[in-house]
Amino acid sequence: MKRSIIDLWVGIFVAIGLASVTFLALKVANLTPQSNNNSYTLIAEFDNIGGLKVKAPVKSSGVVVGRVSNIELDTKRYVARATLTLDGQYHFSRDTSAEILTAGLLGEQYVGLVQGGEEENLKPGDRLQLTSSALVLEQLIGKFMTSFAEGNNKAAAADAAAAETAP
């Protein structure tokens, strides 16, 4: 087949296109090779997951050890059931606790794992026993406001009592 200089340029053009797509896929997008044979899942149930989303990171001591792969509502007990897919090289003891934390004040939420002390490790599919829910800022403020108001009422009542007994 006859080759011409135009073929060369078109070849270069297509190669640039392939290189661009590869760059976008590997360097720009988060294409983490999901080695499924080398990962395992754990279940964590929370009363309230706040703003946790699927694909949120699971961290232990700040190191990403896996991702949240699924979130659903347990329709029997009405708790949120999060499936954590962890990297196979990390193992956690049976009394590991999971909590939902927030990166920074307004950052994304992630699951933090704190290693326990037991010898035996969690097996794939196990449920984490110790979990603590997400800190929901509105509830926190609500509680604070209520206790603040109660405190004021008590102070007012004490003042009134003091005023009655004084004379």
Partner 1 sequence: MLDNLLAPLRKLGHSTINAIWKLGVMSRFLLAIIAHSGQSLLRFQLTIREVYFAGVLSLIIIVVSGLFVGMVLGLQGYNTLSRFGSADALGALVALSLLRELGPVLAALLFASRSGSAMTAEIGLMKATEQLEAMSVMAVDPIARVVAPRFWAGVISMPILAALFNVMGIFGGYLVGVVMIGLDEGTFWSQMQNNVDLHFDVINGLIKSLFFGIAVTLIAVFEGFDATPTAAGVSSATTRTVVTSALVILALDFVLTAFMF
Contact 54, 139 (CB under 8 A): no
The answer to the question of residue 149 lying near partner 1 (CB under 8 A) is: no
Q: What are the helix and strand counts (H, E) for the chain?
A: 2, 7
140, 49, 63: which is closest to 101 by C-alpha? Answer: 49
Q: Which is nearer to partner 1, 30 or 89 (CB)?
A: 30
Q: Which two tokens stand for residue 132?
A: 């603590």
Residues 23-82 that bind partner 1 (CB under 8 A): 23-25, 27-31
Scanning 13-21, 44-52, 78-86, 139-147 for contacts with partner 1 by CB under 8 A, the matching segment is 13-21
Q: With CB under 8 A, what is the number of residues at the site for partner 1?
A: 19
The answer to the question of residue 12 lying near partner 1 (CB under 8 A) is: yes
Find the distance separating the first CA and the last CA of the chain, reported in whole Å.
116
Give me the residues that bind partner 1 (CB under 8 A), please: 6-7, 9-10, 12-14, 16-17, 20-21, 23-25, 27-31
